[in-house]
Structure 1
């Protein structure tokens, strides 16, 4: 017989074997699963499907309107249930922003071990998700729930945009500069949390980053100098940069020393606070990454670090990059930084 513990008697993360976007299947596994799936090419209105591993599906309704649809969910990355709900919802909504759209409503996805977890904690998770949706100006209009062996929460999100404002991850052009809007290191912080090394300041920094909505994506999509966007989540900056490179038929160059890091990320990476997902990521795509001589192993661990509710990777015209960067920072993303360049090539990523 299961015993329901009080919220103070256990850590929410202890109920899950993994957490946040680190739960995602490794890129190589995902490619193998999708390899034989039928293509969606016969549907002319489907502007974006599975072909380039983009952030959401896009369906054109008419000359003025596209519908953007996505779903994202995962297991707890933090122990506070309200924060878990906020982070999971923010992460799910991000896919719509990454495609250049504005969300209009969400549906909740909930799986909870109700024989183990207090109902009050489940309510707090849902409340956190609703709060993040309120911040995006959208309702949680419904959803579905199951009794599951591990806690799972996320959203299906619907958004809209004009056809001219759709931004794929496959539209980067040689000569473009790359902007990352948030610091990386969330996976490292998650590992530190599980080992009891995450203090109050670091926890606050982690939650502030993962609950910062990527609203700027909808504004950037109105700028014709912004060519491509994607959000950086479970595959790390290298994995999602590689998706841009493959989809665009280009080589993406990342300047490792320019990538913004959370305050303790470097220290903890050097101390070995690395997730298993980081190693799986490298095993999946490392053969397509060219590392400059002297790139330290801890830095590679950070570049493959799975980001939960990470920032946007924006590919834009070089001559407009500084102006676009300034507008992103002014909109409330102070860590935004130009981190690289797009070159002619064939679906590879280089780290210098």
Structure 2
């Protein structure tokens, strides 16, 4: 075979992305401006959850016993391994069903690939990774849609089901509630280090283990009477999704930063400036509503706003239900789940306060 006929070496998947994982999200302030007129559209009475509180999924009441949960999520590569990318993207998309308290029932694939740059084998591995996670969740990929795209994009439409009384919105937290986070923070920092060749094998293994762990505790948590609100912490970081709970519920949210679980090594990486651009965009979008201590370190602020891809569930529950909430997390293997704060008083202009 002559040199001219030799196959081209494929580029790294992350080199095809201007931003990876949930760090691709449009900045919260820009997104709010885009959606400000859409939110005024009339909604049918069967729509239990729409876009009004920036919740994780739409919910449509089918009857007195069933509500349909519908969501979609897709993004560009956060890692170079095609199979891992597919797994991460699928886990992240299905998480929104769990965050509403639902059980996934079906998925559709959303695929945009640069077909003249990536081989069909690589694209196939991405889809295989997504299908493997769907099998773990007990569902199938029943169809989807593909396009030829400049950047590699993969994700799912995920559908789920729940009893209408067990839907858990992000807007129903109560004053005095305790906040529990299911996974440590720092995925965005690890992804930034990975892209620059500064994440070691152990760090990569932790990143993959976290981002491919399905939030299967969601339905059990929603079944607890004392659980008032749930969401998952993704592209807007702990601060952003905590603020969504605050705004939707009309209450201040208080975060005890010393109690927030972090992935091993991420604070040191953040200190070395391995942070995503999305972290800064997040702060620019909502920082005026976040009250920090005067001596709060720059690396801690980067972690507070760090975009999480396939992040943990954030649960707002009555103090009397805390033991049951932690037990549900532990039962499903979320050993790092921890109390990270509480819900404060009612407020006309809720803020997130960090101590």
- SS at 1:125 equivalent: helix
- SS at 1:286 equivalent: helix
**Is the aligned partner of 1:31 residue 2:43?**
no
Give 1:4 shift: 11
The alignment of Structure 1 onto Structure 2 pairs a total of residues equal to 350
Give 1:40 shift: 4.8
Give 1:322 shift: 2.9
Give 1:292 shift: 2.1
**Is the aligned partner of 1:185 residue 2:171?**
no
Give 1:331 shift: 1.8
Aligned match of 1:319: 320
Alignment of 1:332-343 (within 5 A): 332-343=333-344
Aligned match of 1:172: 173
Aligned match of 1:199: 200
| Cα pair distance change 1:217/1:40, threshold 3 Å | farther
Give 1:324 shift: 1.6
Aligned match of 1:13: 14
User: Is the Cα–Cα contact under 8 Å of residues 4 and 115 in structure 1 kept in the other structure?
Assistant: no
Aligned match of 1:350: 353
RMSD value, Cα: 1.5
Gaps of 5+ in 1: none
Give 1:202 shift: 0.7
- SS at 1:109 equivalent: strand
TM-score by length of 2: 0.96
Give CA-to-partner distance per residue, 1:45-94, whole Å, 9 cap, x none.
00000000000000001100000000000000000000000000000000
Distance 1:272 1:44 in 2: 48
Aligned match of 1:46: 47
**Is the aligned partner of 1:67 residue 2:68?**
yes
- SS at 2:133 equivalent: helix
User: Is the Cα–Cα contact under 8 Å of residues 39 and 51 in structure 2 kept in the other structure?
Assistant: no
Give CA-to-partner distance per residue, 1:258-283, whole Å, 9 cap, x none.
11001011110111111100000000
Give CA-to-partner distance per residue, 1:12-33, whole Å, 9 cap, x none.
1001111000000000010000
Give CA-to-partner distance per residue, 1:118-162, whole Å, 9 cap, x none.
110000000000000000000000000000000000000110000
Aligned match of 2:96: 95
Alignment of 1:58-137 (within 5 A): 58-137=59-138
Distance 1:117 1:320 in 2: 50
| Cα pair distance change 1:194/1:5, threshold 3 Å | farther
| Cα pair distance change 1:13/1:42, threshold 3 Å | closer
Give 1:6 shift: 6.4
| Cα pair distance change 1:4/1:156, threshold 3 Å | farther
Give 1:5 shift: 9.5
Gaps of 5+ in 2: none
Distance 1:318 1:122 in 2: 47
Aligned match of 2:217: 216
User: Is the Cα–Cα contact under 8 Å of residues 133 and 139 in structure 1 kept in the other structure?
Assistant: yes
| Cα pair distance change 1:54/1:236, threshold 3 Å | same
Distance 2:283 2:92 in 1: 23
Give 1:345 shift: 3.4
